[in-house]
Chains A and B, each alone.
Chain A
């Protein structure tokens, strides 16, 4: 038994070292499994909770084109949540179990979604900065050692990049618009910049899971490296947007070949993580309410399916959405 485990462990380590993909039926260390469940679930929860700050503006979007783009985006986020719950399920958990952990606060979601969307420009700022940070984080995950997660990330990153460009384009329209629109855009960037930098997680010397995740090739780059990469990408983009970033210490450092930037308020970050951010309570309450108020619908679907499984031979009924719809999405003009 001990020998078998050692053999398994050796094979696992060799596969990871050779950049091979670990698949659901492969042996894997318990801690590797647990880390992946935690990370994928948190990622899925972030997609689901992340619908709220943007959906907040669907009914108020200022043009029909922007409304269509926003609905398509929020729809994509629900879809990403579904991919990710499926990926997590390959590790032996279930969506119901994960949602329950979200609803009871035993699993987290990205701290960024605890900030409110106060103006229309926030929707653009989220697209540009929040999706931009997410992409910087997620592109390396397309090469993650766990196959189902890596494959989900390939699909997700394509759609996220599209959203990010749309967010940028929306901010650009505001920045070049009336003085009131420009001010609205600047205010949004001022509020979303620092929380976006926090999306990369705590600094490397305070990151609990980093070393092991990197050894397992779940993670490819450190938090601080990714954060630096993001800052370097954003500075010229902000310039071409005609907007400033709210950091007096932000300056190009010739010797490092990177931008230096000011200190992050880690106290705020910890407070938001602990549940004391501006919208933590509201986000989780809405999520729980949707789930609780939908219970009778899910029960009905299950009861209907059960009746028709027993009364028809091939019980083809399934709950959930219809299929085969063609979402026209939105052209990015």
Chain B
């Protein structure tokens, strides 16, 4: 019973981050061929590809990427509930992107620029996650800019787009609190992360003539739920679609 690197158990943070990226990539992939302008078909696919690339690197740290993506059930996924939310209209997709990509960019920037506070307190995969963060910080900066620019256009566009954008911002607000909890095995300055996120979102929404929601950013159900494998109802259906073919051919390679 020699124990080689028992990676999966040691890296819940990597799993959470990988699941975030995969699940959001899956949602964005649904947009292909449905976007309001061709440029957005390109941009949304581009962001999906970046995220899928990040997910694959992280899964590979933990084991077999396809086994992790296709053979786990709903309760084993650790993504935040925000990223599994349905695309809705374009405003919902952009609000989800704004909330998540701002978090994602700040998170990766922090991971890429601050040395691990104490190497002994981090898991073995943490240095690999930090190495990935340098590349991801560049990609997520683009994702964030894309979401911010569209938030401005929609918020400060027409009365209809303003209304739709505000509704999306309000609807998804309750899923944002979950983003700022500990990722096991990864030392993060969560306080700074959350406060920078809140400032950035407030700035963007204000500039977009939108109102920052006043309700709490968590509810009893959403607080930390996704990270514990408790998801919203649409998620199982999304996984069914994603995993169906792979599961129909056990052991096949593609």
A58-B254 in contact (CB<8A): no
A321-B32 in contact (CB<8A): no
User: What's the nearest-Cβ distance from chain B to residue A141, in Å?
Assistant: 21
User: What's the nearest-Cβ distance from chain B to residue A302, in Å?
Assistant: 8
Q: What residues of A have a CB within 8 angstroms of the CB of B252 in the complex?
A: 62, 177-178, 180-181
Q: What residues of B have a CB within 8 angstroms of the CB of A63 in the complex?
A: 66, 70, 246, 253-254
* Band of interface residues on B: 35 or more
A320-B158 in contact (CB<8A): no
Whether, in the assembled complex, B214 has its beta carbon less than 8 Å from a beta carbon of chain A, the answer is: no
A51-B242 in contact (CB<8A): no
A178-B249 in contact (CB<8A): yes
A304-B156, A321-B40 given; A67·B46 CB < 8 A: no
Most chain A beta-carbon neighbours within 10 Å: one of B37, B40, B145, B245: B37
A321-B42 in contact (CB<8A): yes
A64-B142 in contact (CB<8A): no
Distance of A327 Cα from B44 Cα, bound (Å): 11
- Could you tell me which residues of chain B, from 139 to 160, have a CB within 8 Å of some CB in chain A? 139, 142, 145-146, 149, 152-154, 156-158, 160
A58-B40 in contact (CB<8A): no
A59-B29, A75-B46 given; A301·B153 CB < 8 A: yes
B34-A329 in contact (CB<8A): no
User: What's the nearest-Cβ distance from chain A to residue B204, in Å?
Assistant: 14
A63-B254, A321-B39, A325-B43 given; A120·B245 CB < 8 A: yes
Q: What residues of A have a CB within 8 angstroms of the CB of B149 in the complex?
A: 322
Smallest Cβ-Cβ distance to B152: which chain A residue: A304
A75-B45 in contact (CB<8A): yes
Whether, in the assembled complex, B69 has its beta carbon less than 8 Å from a beta carbon of chain A, the answer is: yes
Whether, in the assembled complex, A214 has its beta carbon less than 8 Å from a beta carbon of chain B, the answer is: no
Option from B25, B42, B70 in Cβ contact (under 8 Å) with A79: B42
Distance of A59 Cα from B22 Cα, bound (Å): 11
Whether, in the assembled complex, A290 has its beta carbon less than 8 Å from a beta carbon of chain B, the answer is: yes
Distance of A173 Cα from B55 Cα, bound (Å): 23
A298-B37 in contact (CB<8A): yes
Option from B43, B55, B145, B254 in Cβ contact (under 8 Å) with A62: B254
Distance of A65 Cα from B157 Cα, bound (Å): 39
Whether, in the assembled complex, A74 has its beta carbon less than 8 Å from a beta carbon of chain B, the answer is: yes
Q: What residues of A have a CB within 8 angstroms of the CB of B45 in the complex?
A: 71-72, 74-75, 78
Q: How many residues of A contact B (CB 8 A)?
A: 59
Most chain A beta-carbon neighbours within 10 Å: one of B39, B42, B48: B42
Most chain B beta-carbon neighbours within 10 Å: one of A289, A296, A299: A296
Query: A62-84 vs B: 1/0 string, CB under 8 Å?
Result: 11111110011011001101100
Q: What residues of A have a CB within 8 angstroms of the CB of B52 in the complex?
A: 64, 67-68, 71
Whether, in the assembled complex, B49 has its beta carbon less than 8 Å from a beta carbon of chain A, the answer is: yes
Smallest Cβ-Cβ distance to B165: which chain A residue: A300
A290-B46 in contact (CB<8A): no
Q: What residues of A have a CB within 8 angstroms of the CB of B47 in the complex?
A: 325
Smallest Cβ-Cβ distance to A292: which chain B residue: B36
User: What's the nearest-Cβ distance from chain B to residue A53, in Å?
Assistant: 9
Distance of A67 Cα from B28 Cα, bound (Å): 12
Whether, in the assembled complex, A265 has its beta carbon less than 8 Å from a beta carbon of chain B, the answer is: no
Whether, in the assembled complex, B10 has its beta carbon less than 8 Å from a beta carbon of chain A, the answer is: no
Option from B26, B40, B50 in Cβ contact (under 8 Å) with A325: B50
Smallest Cβ-Cβ distance to B245: which chain A residue: A62
User: What's the nearest-Cβ distance from chain A to residue B19, in Å?
Assistant: 13
Whether, in the assembled complex, B73 has its beta carbon less than 8 Å from a beta carbon of chain A, the answer is: no
* Chain A interface main SS type: helix
A71-B42 in contact (CB<8A): no
A75-B45, A78-B41 given; A55·B161 CB < 8 A: no
Distance of A61 Cα from B89 Cα, bound (Å): 24
Query: A139-164 vs B: 1/0 string, CB under 8 Å?
Result: 00000000000000000000000000
- Could you tell me which residues of chain A, from 306 to 333, have a CB within 8 Å of some CB in chain B? 307, 319-322, 324-329
B56-A68 in contact (CB<8A): yes
User: What's the nearest-Cβ distance from chain B to residue A276, in Å?
Assistant: 22
Q: What residues of B have a CB within 8 angstroms of the CB of A305 in the complex?
A: 153
Q: What residues of A have a CB within 8 angstroms of the CB of B241 in the complex?
A: 59-60
A180-B254 in contact (CB<8A): no
Option from B41, B139, B146 in Cβ contact (under 8 Å) with A326: B139
Query: B230-254 vs A: 1/0 string, CB under 8 Å?
Result: 0000000000011011100101111
Q: What residues of A have a CB within 8 angstroms of the CB of B123 in the complex?
A: none
B33-A51 in contact (CB<8A): yes
What would 9 more interface pairs be, CB under 8 Å, given A63-B70, A319-B37? A59-B29, A59-B242, A63-B66, A68-B56, A75-B41, A78-B38, A181-B249, A319-B39, A321-B42
- 13 residue pairs A–B, Cβ–Cβ below 8 Å: A51-B41, A60-B241, A64-B66, A85-B38, A297-B37, A300-B160, A301-B37, A303-B157, A305-B153, A325-B50, A326-B142, A328-B53, A329-B49
Interface residues of A (CB under 8 A from B): 48, 51-52, 55, 58-68, 71-72, 74-75, 78-79, 81-82, 85, 120, 170, 173-174, 177-178, 180-181, 286, 289-291, 293-301, 303-305, 307, 319-322, 324-329
**Which 7 pairs show the lowest CB-CB distances between chains A and B?**
A294-B36, A300-B157, A300-B161, A321-B43, A75-B45, A297-B36, A55-B32
